[in-house]
Structure formats: structure tokens, C-alpha cells
């Protein structure tokens, strides 16, 4: 089958409501034209994020019943530690309640003012945590990634020559670590090849710089390597994932993605001294190192989720469900980042709404229109999330791409529901000249996309 059918049957059903277009017009106006302000009850299909929105399996729910809620030394921590050690080969396993805390603890422990952190593309929380610690986050993804139509199989790759130049220019002592985000969320959920992981690791190590993975979607990345990279078609996805980790000195992970849970994360690393510093901070802000802000039952569910996520029937359905949505949009003339990413489809809002100027937030305008038209919540990844204003000149630097992300929760929606999303977008595309631009009326100084408010430009 081109698009495999669901490799699971549904045991628990959560009803979702359909609302009228009139009701949604009122609700989105009250939310200041920001979909983060919408009550989830007003949404039919929620594609805001694939993070923390997965459906857990029967085995994960069963695992929660063997939660050991001891303050220290919970048996679930030891299982969690064993599974992560086996997967990553890394020595120190530190639980956190989600990915950004892992980032915060790591960067608070290794960054000094003015230090530089290279990455293919920093996710927004990663960048914010680097900058919060007075570091400089530098994105070095390959140029092909900036062209939405380019069919490069590994558009998440970092540009090795640019990385080399950055190390020379900055000086290796000013780079406390280098990172790769797998898959590259901000660049379209695109995978990084094993070759690129290896070359990045070698180059960083040659300069005595530790190499970390932002491993949120490691299993999806490993599946793409199996599908696309020469020499891996006969290797299991689990072994490919292990090989990816084998090049790294550490990783941060939001288990809310490929951990298949609703909450959780971790840092894993080999350096004992840094691990000690992180643990001291962890005790201050998250909790004792055998729970790190999570309940024992959460740790158990993550341990099971990290095993389930490399199941190849699951991954084949997962990746192809996302691809199916992307293919139907493409077939109907809707511009998306090609090829479809692992966890999401990214619509090129500049191609969808060529008449709206960047200062009118075209991707946000499309996100608002999609919710109003169909009750589908997507998220903007463009001007609102990434534009930077030069305080002195007032000039706005826009990101390369202006995108609307349709992130698909894991094991949650059926292919029929994905057809509904595709049809809604096709409808909207036919009537695209009616979509109006937006003007910002409130913005916070950091991570403004979460709380910004807008009005429609009539």
C-alpha cells in the first residue's frame, strides 16, 4: 500500500466537537487572533503540536500502574535509566519534566557570556535558552533547506564547511558544544543523514568540542535514514538510532515527541563533571535526580514509549500519514516544504498568500483563516516566531521561510481525519484572496508567539 493503514485499533474514544463558523469567528477574535489563546474544546482537529499530544498504548497505561512514587530511588527511574542507556550508550541519565528544562539546565551549566552554539537550526526554546544564558545561537543548516521546493533527502543536514568556518572564526574555546536537531523541526521536520551526524561529530571532536543531539524526534530521523540513505535499508531502525547516538557526547530530549508520552524529558551525557553540575541545579529547580520533576509512573511510561517508538510498523504508518497529507496538498497546488517532514507538513505561506506582505504576518493570517474556516488548529513558524527587530535602526530581519505547520500527533487521528484537513485547506486555497493580513497589538519581549495579540487589517 502506498499509505499503510493504521497498525492499531482504538480502545478508548475521546469525543471531539464540531463548532459553527460563526462561533469560531467570535472565539478567535476573543483569543486576539492567536491560536495559543483558543480553548481546546473549540477545536475539531488540533495540529498545533505533536508534542505531548500522543496517544499512549495499552502497555504504557499498564506501566503507569506500576509507578513507584518513592521520593528517592524509584524502581521506575532505574528502568528509565536502563532503557535510555541502552538506546543512547550515554552514561548519566537525568530526568526533567520536559525538553526545555533539559536545555536550560545544560546551557546554564556549560555556557559563558558570549559563547557560541552552532546547530542545524535551533528550535525556539533551544535558541531562547542559549540566549537567556547570554550565548549566541547560530543556525548552519545547508542552503538547500532554504528552498521549499528542493527535494534533497536530508534537508536537516548542517553545512559542514560553514561549521568549520565558524569554529575558525569564533575559536574552539568559545564553543562549549555543538548540536544537531533531529529531525530539524524549525527547518521543516527534515532529517539529518548518518553521514552528516558522523562528519559533524568528527569535526567537533577534532576541535575538542562536545557534540550533542537534540533528540526529540530521533526515531523519525532514524526511519528516514533507513528509507533514504545508502547502506541502511537492512539495518533495524533501533540499531540506526543507536548508531546516531553513538556519535554524540550527550543529548537533550523532550519525551513528549518520540517518547510517546504527554509529559517528560531528559538529558543524557558522558561528562561526569557537567552531569554533577546539572544534577545540583536539577535539585534546585526540578527535584531529586531519580524523578526530576516527574512522577514514577511517568518515568515508566517513557521507558515503554522509548521502546515502542522504533517499531517499524508504527513508524511506517506515522511517516506515511504525514506524507499522505502532504501529497494531497501538493496534488492540489498548495505549496509545502518538500519533501514532507517526519512529524508535520509545513505550508509555504508566501506561496499560499503571495499578496500579503511580511509585515502583515501571512503565516499567522493563514493559521487564523484555517481555524475559522474548518476548526483546525495549526501553528505559525515565521515572522511572529522568528523575526528580529534591530533596536537601533528599527529594521526587521525576517526569517528565510514563512510557514504554517500542521503537526500531526502520534497515534491520535485517523487517515479520514487527515483527509478532512486536506479538503479544508484545498477549499481555503480556492478562496485565498479573501484572507486578510494582521497587525500586532501586544507582544512579550521573548517567545512572543505564545501570547501575542492581533487585529485584522480591514
176 binds ligand PM9 (CB under 6 A): no
- Taking alpha carbons only, the member of 401, 414, 410 closest to residue 346 is 401
The Cα–Cα gap between 223 and 330 comes to: 23
The Cα–Cα gap between 217 and 267 comes to: 14
364 binds ligand PM9 (CB under 6 A): no
119 binds ligand PM9 (CB under 6 A): no
Q: Which residue, 356 or 406, has its beta carbon nearer to ligand PM9?
A: 406
Site for ligand PM9 (CB under 6 A): which residue of 67, 99, 335, 437?
99
CB of 98 to ligand PM9, least distance (A): 3
Total residues interacting with ligand PM9, rule: CB under 6 A:
16
The residue of the chain with the least Cβ separation from ligand PM9 equals 99
237 binds ligand PM9 (CB under 6 A): no
CB of 130 to ligand PM9, least distance (A): 12
Length of the chain measured in residues: 458
256 binds ligand PM9 (CB under 6 A): yes
258 binds ligand PM9 (CB under 6 A): no
Q: What is the edge-to-edge ordering of all strands in the sheet holding 403-407? A: 344-348, 403-407, 379-381
Quick note: the x/- pattern for ligand PM9 over 51-70, rule CB under 6 A, is x-------------------
Site for ligand PM9 (CB under 6 A): which residue of 42, 54, 76, 185?
185
181 binds ligand PM9 (CB under 6 A): yes
Count the Cβ atoms, other than its own, within 10 Å of residue 457.
13
Q: Which residue, 213 or 303, has its beta carbon nearer to ligand PM9?
A: 213
Quick note: the x/- pattern for ligand PM9 over 22-51, rule CB under 6 A, is ---------------------------x-x
Applying the rule CB under 6 A, the residues between 402 and 431 that interact with ligand PM9 are: 407
Interaction site with ligand PM9 (CB under 6 A): 49, 51, 98-100, 123, 125-126, 181, 185, 214, 216, 254, 256, 265, 407
Amino acid at each position: 500500500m502506498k499509505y499503510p493503514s493504521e497498525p492499531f485499533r482504538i480502545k478508548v474514544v475521546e469525543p471531539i466537537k464540531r463548532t459553527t463558523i460563526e462561533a469560531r469567528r467570535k472565539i478567535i477574535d476573543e483569543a486576539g487572533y492567536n491560536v495559543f489563546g483558543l480553548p481546546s474544546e473549540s477545536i475539531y482537529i488540533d495540529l498545533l503540536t505533536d508534542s505531548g499530544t500522543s496517544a499512549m498504548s495499552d502497555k504504557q497505561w499498564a506501566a503507569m500502574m506500576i509507578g513507584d512514587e518513592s521520593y528517592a530511588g524509584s524502581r521506575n527511574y532505574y528502568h528509565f535509566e536502563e532503557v535510555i542507556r541502552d538506546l543512547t550508550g550515554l552514561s548519566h541519565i537525568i530526568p526533567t519534566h520536559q525538553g526545555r528544562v533539559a536545555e536550560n539546565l545544560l546551557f546554564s551549566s556549560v555556557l559563558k557570556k558570549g559563547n557560541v552554539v552552532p546547530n542545524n537550526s535551533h528550535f525556539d526554546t533551544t535558541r531562547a535558552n542559549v540566549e537567556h544564558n547570554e550565548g549566541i545561537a547560530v543556525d548552519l543548516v545547508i542552503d538547500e533547506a532554504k528552498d521549499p521546493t528542493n527535494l534533497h533527502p536530508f534537508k536537516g543536514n548542517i553545512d559542514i564547511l560553514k561549521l568549520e568556518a565558524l569554529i575558525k572564526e569564533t575559536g574552539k574555546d568559545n564553543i562549549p558544544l555543538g548540536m544537531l536537531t533531529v529531525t530539524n523541526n524549525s527547518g521543516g521536520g527534515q532529517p539529518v543523514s548518518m553521514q552528516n551526524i558522523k562528519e559533524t561529530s568528527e569535526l567537533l571532536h577534532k576541535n575538542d568540542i562536545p557534540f550533542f543531539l537534540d533528540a526529540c524526534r530521533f526515531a523519525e530521523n532514524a526511519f528516514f535514514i533507513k528509507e533514504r540513505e545508502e547502506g541502511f535499508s537492512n539495518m533495524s531502525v533501533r540499531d540506526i538510532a543507536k548508531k546516531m547516538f553513538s556519535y554524540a557526547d550527550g543529548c537533550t530530549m523532550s519525551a513528549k515527541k518520540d517518547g510517546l508520552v504527554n509529559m517528560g524529558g531528559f538529558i543524557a551525557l558522558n561528562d561526569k563533571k557537567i552531569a554533577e553540575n546539572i544534577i545540583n541545579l536539577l535539585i534546585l529547580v526540578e527535584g531529586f535526580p531519580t524523578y526530576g520533576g516527574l512522577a514514577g509512573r511517568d518515568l515508566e511510561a517513557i521507558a515503554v514509549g522509548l521502546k515502542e517508538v522504533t517499531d517499524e510498523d508504527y513508524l511506517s504508518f506515522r511517516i506515511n500519514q504525514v506524507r499522505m497529507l502532504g501529497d494531497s496538498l501538493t496534488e492540489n497546488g498548495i505549496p509545502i516544504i518538500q519533501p514532507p517532514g517526519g512529524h508535520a507538513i509545513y505550508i509555504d505561506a508566501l506561496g499560499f498568500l503571495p499578496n500579503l506582505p511580511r509585515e502583515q504576518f501571512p503565516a499567522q493570517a493563514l493559521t487564523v483563516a484555517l481555524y475559522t474556516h474548518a476548526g483546525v488548529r495549526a501553528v505559525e513558524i515565521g515572522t511572529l516566531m522568528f523575526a528580529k527587530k534591530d533596536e537601533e535602526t528599527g529594521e526587521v530581519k525576517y526569517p528565510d521561510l514563512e510557514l504554517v505547520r500542521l503537526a500531526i500527533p502520534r497515534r491520535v487521528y485517523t487517515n479520514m481525519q487527515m483527509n478532512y484537513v486536506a479538503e479544508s485547506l484545498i477549499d481555503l486555497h480556492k478562496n485565498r484572496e479573501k484572507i486578510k493580513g494582521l497587525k500586532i497589538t501586544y507582544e512579550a519581549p521573548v517567545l512572543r508567539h505564545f501570547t501575542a495579540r492581533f487585529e485584522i487589517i480591514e
